[in-house]
Chains A and B, each alone.
Chain A
Amino acid sequence: MSLLAIPLLPLAAVLFSLVPLGKRVAPAVTLIAAAGALALAVTNSLRVVAEQHVVVVAGWVELDGLSAILLLLNTFVSAMAALFSWGYIAAHQREERRIRSYYAHFNLFTFSMALVPVLFQPAFVWIAIEFTAVFSVLLVAFENTHAALEAAWKYIALMFTGAAIALLGFFILFWAQQKVGAGHYSWSGLVMVAPQMSPVLVIAAFVFILVGFGVKVGFVPMHTWLPDAHSQAPAPVCALLSGVKTTNALYVILRLAQLLPIGRVNLWMQVIGLVSVGVASFLLLQVRDYKRLFAFSTVEHMGIIFIAAGLGARGGSYGAMLQMVSHSLTKSFCFFAAGAALLVLGTREIASVRGLIRTSPTAGAALLFGALAIGGAPPFAVFLSEFSIFRAGLERGDYVVTALLAIFITVAFFGILLHVNRMVFGQPPEKPSTHAALPFTCVLTLILAAIPILVFGVYQPAKLHELVALAAANISQAPSP
Chain B
Amino acid sequence: MTDPNVIIWLHNLNALTGGLFLLVLFGLVSVRQVGGCVRLFIALSLLLAASAFLLSAIYHTWHLSVVGVVDIATKVIAIPLLLRRVLPDEVYTRREVAQVLNIPTALLTALLLAIVAYLLSKPLMAVGDGIAIGVNLPIGLSGLLIGGLTAAVRREAVPLFLGLLAMENSAFFAGIGVAPEMPLIAEVSIAFDVLILVFVVGVLTRAVHEHIGTTEVGTLTALKEEPER
Q: Interface residues, chain A, CB within 8 Å of chain B?
A: 121, 123-124, 126-127, 130-131, 134, 137-138, 141, 144-147, 149-154, 156-157, 160-161, 163-165, 167-168, 171-172, 174-175, 178-179, 185, 198, 200-201, 204, 227-228, 231-232, 283, 286-288
B204 CB within 8 Å of chain A: yes
**Chain B minimum-CB-distance residue to A178:** B181
A124 to chain B, nearest CB (A): 6
Further pairs besides A134-B196, A137-B201, A161-B167: 18, Cβ < 8 Å = A127-B186, A127-B189, A138-B200, A145-B211, A149-B204, A149-B207, A149-B208, A150-B220, A153-B220, A157-B151, A157-B164, A164-B170, A168-B141, A171-B171, A171-B175, A172-B178, A174-B181, A288-B227
Contact B168 A137 (CB under 8 A): no
Known: A151-B223, A156-B204, A287-B225. A168 touches B171 (CB 8 A): yes
Can you list 25 pairs linking A and B with CB atoms under 8 Å apart? A123-B182, A123-B189, A124-B186, A124-B189, A134-B193, A134-B197, A141-B207, A146-B211, A149-B208, A150-B222, A153-B157, A157-B160, A160-B164, A163-B168, A164-B171, A168-B140, A168-B144, A168-B171, A171-B171, A171-B182, A178-B181, A185-B183, A200-B123, A201-B124, A227-B223
Chain B interface mostly: helix
Known: A161-B164, A161-B167. A172 touches B124 (CB 8 A): yes
Contact B168 A160 (CB under 8 A): yes
Contact of A200 among B124, B182, B190, B225 (CB under 8 A): B124
Contact A126 B190 (CB under 8 A): yes
Contact B175 A153 (CB under 8 A): no
Contact B171 A198 (CB under 8 A): no
**Chain B minimum-CB-distance residue to A152:** B204
Bound complex: CA A138 to CA B181 (Å): 35
B68 CB within 8 Å of chain A: no
Residues of A within 8 A of B183 (CB): 121, 123, 185
Q: Interface residues, chain B, CB within 8 Å of chain A?
A: 123-124, 126-128, 140-141, 144, 147-148, 151, 157, 160-161, 164, 167-168, 170-172, 174-175, 178-179, 181-183, 186, 189-190, 193, 196-197, 200-201, 203-205, 207-208, 211-212, 217, 220-223, 225, 227
Contact A164 B174 (CB under 8 A): no
Contact A204 B124 (CB under 8 A): yes
B33 to chain A, nearest CB (A): 21
B35 to chain A, nearest CB (A): 21
Residues of B within 8 A of A167 (CB): 168, 171-172, 175, 190
Bound complex: CA A175 to CA B127 (Å): 10
**Chain A minimum-CB-distance residue to B219:** A150
Bound complex: CA A368 to CA B151 (Å): 41
Contact A149 B168 (CB under 8 A): no
Contact B174 A168 (CB under 8 A): yes
Contact B190 A123 (CB under 8 A): yes
Contact B148 A161 (CB under 8 A): yes
Residues of B within 8 A of A201 (CB): 124, 127
Contact A153 B204 (CB under 8 A): yes
Bound complex: CA A145 to CA B197 (Å): 21
